[in-house]
Each structure stands twice: as structure tokens, then as C-alpha cells.
Amino acid sequence: MIEVLGIEKDYPTGAGVFQALRGVSLGIAAGEFVAIMGASGSGKSTFMNLLGCLDRPTRGSYHLHGQDVSRLSSDQLAALRNREIGFVFQGFNLLPKLTALDNVALPLMYAGMGRQARRQQAQATLNRVGLGDRSHHTPLQLSGGQQQRVAIARALATRPRIIFADEPTGNLDSETSRQVMGFFSQLNHEEGITLVLVTHEADIAAYARRRIRFQDGRVVEDVAIEAVAA
């Protein structure tokens, strides 16, 4: 599914160039649940942004489903993201004036789906995450855990094959974090959705089946792990 070879990413700074990624090569197969770890500034979030087609590498190649992503135009990248990828972020990134239903329906609107069809699919996706009865609530009327489940529903709305989650439990208490990670595990185990999770928390990474650790822009660990029970 994912194959990167010699990926490097440079950012200009006042002192010259900062190399955020240094010669990263690895593959992620369909259906894997991978945790990416590392200290702040290690390159883990930069790597996820590249995998999620939110940024481009300075050097190296990235193939997704056999397609060379680096050769795609900005419009083609946007279409690929909307079709193949779902994102879940630490800050939820919900629009505060929209209801849960309308937040989940947004990517379907961008995909060109008609209003009635997208509202039906958004409602079905909220039902799937256990928030069908909260569809007409705005984010401020929901708890943090409920907001994150809305964000997960939004990521699932277009039925992507892969989900990237960047510190998805960072704003949640421990019990709600366990519930969210249990749901991620269920998605991976029962539906075969590929999950790539960025986290600095070892207990959250333990839900995955593979751990990749970054340090100074390089992969310093890539091991299979035994996932905790969901």
C-alpha cells in the first residue's frame, strides 16, 4: 500500500536548511496498524504529513497503491486525499458553528455527493461511532470524547482505505482515550482499515501491531509488537 524510498524533507531556516527527514525507507502493507513514535522534532509528524499527501518530500519517492505521489499535481493530490485517506487530529478540527452531522458531511460535499445522499451517509457514519442521537448537536454541546468520535466519523465518511491519526488522544482523559483506541482497534481488526497513528505515549502506541520510532529525522526502530486487548 505505502512504499517510501530515501525520503528526505528540508525546511529553510535563518541559519540555512533544517533536514527534518533523512533518508527514510520503509513500507506499510494494507491492513496494518502502525504507531509512529519519537520526541518532539524527531520527524514523526513531518513523515505523517508526507504520507497523508499534505506535503511533498524534497528528495526520494513515495508510492501509494503503486502510484508515484510525487508526480501528482496539487488538484490530483487533493482528490487522492479525499478518496483514499481520512485524518484524525488532536484538536478535533471541527467547525464550531456546524452540527455534528454537517461536520461529517463536509468531505462528502467536497467529493461531489448530493445533499440528501451525503446527509444520509453522514448520519449512518455517526450511528457507526455511537453518536447517531447527537447528530444535531454542535461541537460545544459535546464532550471531548464525543467530539473526537465526530472527527473519526468525518474521517470515515468517504470510506477511506487508510486513516492517519496525529496524537488523537492528546486532549482526552485516560478512560476516553481507551475508548477511542478501542474503536480504532475495532476498525482495523474488523474492517481491515489501515491505521497510521502518531503518538508520544507508549500506552497508546501499544494498541498498534508495529512500532516505528524516529530520532533526528531517521528511523531508529521498526518492530512488530503484540497489541493490547481493545
pTM score, two decimals? 0.90
Q: What is the pLDDT of residues 51-106, one digit of tens each?
A: 999 999 999 999 998 899 988 898 898 888 888 999 998 888 999 999 999 999 99
Q: What is the pLDDT of residues 137-178, one digit of tens each?
A: 999 999 999 999 999 999 999 999 999 999 999 888 899 899
Mean pLDDT rounded to a whole number for the chain:
93
- 2-224: CATH number: 3.40.50.300
- Per-residue confidence at 44, pLDDT binned at 50, 70, 90? very high
For residues 209-222, average pLDDT: 97
Could you tell me which residues come within 8 angstroms of residue 183 by beta carbon, excluding any fewer than 6 positions away?
129, 149, 152
User: What distance in Å separates the CA atoms of residue 173 and residue 160, rounded to the nearest whole number?
Assistant: 27
**Which of 17-21, 114-118, 188-192, 221-225 has the weakest average pLDDT?**
188-192
